[in-house]
Amino acid sequence: MLNPQVKRSDVPAQRTGERTPTVIADGVDIVYRVVGSGTGRGSATSALSRIIGRGKRPGVREVHAVKGVTFTAYRGEAIGLIGTNGSGKSTLLRAVAGLLPCENGRIYTDGQPSLMGVNAALMDDLTGERNVTLGCLAMGMSREQVRERYDEIVDFSGVNDKGDFISLPMRTYSSGMKARLRFSIGAAKDHDVLLIDEALATGDARFQKRSEARIRELRAKAGTVFLVSHSNKSIRDTCDRVLWLEKGELRMDGPTEQVLQEYERFTSR
């Protein structure tokens, strides 16, 4: 569900030259507020200082996760988000999906972006089969569309390659099988803007190839794909443009090879 605090609106339909913008981030700041974080003092002291009103908002710590990020994404682009741990990649992705409010700035999107992460909510106690149906319905597909795409989704995931696993509860799956099924469900729909968080890092080599091919297909259908990954190989194989975040700031935005070379120099230091 969209957070009502998120400042969003549709991108105007007009084209910018030959290219159509799908996501515009304009000076975006995102701040987490952690309530109840320790102050280093005992809780009785914190409570007392709260009562007598000294200091501002005791026990609330602010984490400025994304700082003044600006970029425009266009239809047909596959954009990699890279950066060292904690640099703000997932936060930015969740903000584009409308799941986090912007402290400052705005995010404009064309249509509703779909976040396809390894944490997508599938239920362990339900069979793979039920999860495919529920997952597809949750993405807004009709029962008819689910029936049409069902076999394709199961085949794509490969969970039935070693027996009839699709009729077993998902708790019997390996973590790779779960991740593959999640990806397959998410990829069954043609998204305008597809946001992927690390999904490619989980499958085996064969599955990664298939997912990369599917991402290329989605791009060919005029969508925009964002991929957060720690695998430079996945980024090289999938993306034509890369945004590099460091400590919440956009450090570089450019063609994949150019940005990755700089990033590799930075991380090998």
Interface with ligand ATP by CB under 6 A: which residues?
Answer: 32, 34, 63, 65, 83, 85-91
Which is nearer to ligand ATP, 181 or 228 (by Cβ)?
A: 228
User: How far apart are the C-alpha atoms of 82 and 80, rounded to whole Å?
Assistant: 6
Which is nearer to ligand ATP, 60 or 138 (by Cβ)?
A: 60
Write down the least CB distance from residue 235 to ligand ATP, Å: 13
Phi, psi angles (nearest 5°) of residue 14: -65, 150
Which strands, in side-by-side order, build the sheet including 193-197? 114-117, 193-197, 224-228, 78-82, 241-246, 249-255
Which is nearer to ligand ATP, 67 or 210 (by Cβ)?
A: 67
Write down the least CB distance from residue 94 to ligand ATP, Å: 8
Write down the least CB distance from residue 50 to ligand ATP, Å: 21
The two three-digit tokens of residue 43, written as one number: 């809780």
CA distances to 8, 21, 142, 253 from 13, rounded to whole Å, are: 15, 9, 27, 24
Which is nearer to ligand ATP, 100 or 153 (by Cβ)?
A: 100
Which is nearer to ligand ATP, 110 or 198 (by Cβ)?
A: 198
Which is nearer to ligand ATP, 62 or 217 (by Cβ)?
A: 62
Helices 175-187 & 128-138, crossing angle to 10 degrees? 40
Write down the least CB distance from residue 210 to ligand ATP, Å: 24
User: Residue 249: beta bridge partners?
Assistant: 246
The two three-digit tokens of residue 211, written as one number: 């997912």
Contact 145, 136 (CB under 8 A): yes
User: How far apart are the C-alpha atoms of 244 and 259, rounded to whole Å?
Assistant: 7
Full DSSP string of 129-145 = HHHHHHHHHHTT--HHH
User: How far apart are the C-alpha atoms of 159 and 210, rounded to whole Å?
Assistant: 14
Which is nearer to ligand ATP, 89 or 219 (by Cβ)?
A: 89
Write down the least CB distance from residue 5 to ligand ATP, Å: 15
Write down the least CB distance from residue 111 to ligand ATP, Å: 23
Write down the least CB distance from residue 53 to ligand ATP, Å: 25
